Structure 1
Amino acid sequence: MYDHSEADDCAEELRAVLAEHGITLPSLRVDLPTFAARYPARPLISLGNCNLLTARTLVAALRKGVA
């Protein structure tokens, strides 16, 4: 079983790192139904939807990180 606080911490860390690159994903959150499963499942982090500008900024940040 996974700890809910670990998933929350990960989501917040991701939110902070994205913010360092000027990226905001308003729907970023822990997927709570993951914790309601009858079998031990790994918690999911939902990134949600974003607009085209945010998607392009995310692509640029990822490409820069790979280079």
Structure 2
Amino acid sequence: MALTAVERVRATEEAVEQLREELARAGVVLPSLRIDPLTCAGHVLFPLVDLGRCNLDMALRLVAVLSGAYGPDGARVGEGAPSRLSN
């Protein structure tokens, strides 16, 4: 059974909230993280998630999280190891 438009938006809202929580656990805050309002009103299968804008520090933290420099608890992996982000 296909989801209704309301169910698709609700599912996307839940995904955004889960993403926000997991990023926060890793020390990353994307202040403009949200559902893209234009795709909510459109005829797409699911609304898009707008990751928004962030400053340089948050961008580098996100790179570190995605590259495995931080564990799921937000602590640095391999304490004392040289960081690719330093300099």
The normalised TM-score by structure 2 is: 0.67
Shift of 1:36: 1.4
Aligned length: 64
Unaligned stretches of 5+ in structure 2? 70-87
Identity %: 41
**Structure 1 runs of 4+ off > 6 angstroms?**
none
The 3-state SS of whatever aligns with 2:68 is helix
Give the number of the structure whose alpha-carbon radius of gyration is greater.
Answer: 2
Find 2:49's aligned residue among 34, 41, 45: 45
Shift of 1:43: 1.1
Q: Relative contact order (C-alpha < 8 Å, sep 6+): which is higher? A: 1
The residue number in structure 1 matching 2:14 is: 9
RMSD of Structure 2 on Structure 1 (CA): 1.6
- What does the per-residue CA deviation read over 1:22-61, in whole Å, with 9 as the maximum and x for residues that have no partner? 0000000011210212x34431000101000000000000
The residue number in structure 1 matching 2:61 is: 57
The normalised TM-score by structure 1 is: 0.85
Structure with greater helix share of residues: 1
Unaligned stretches of 5+ in structure 1? none
Say if 2:35 and 2:48, in contact at 8 Å, map to a contact too.
yes
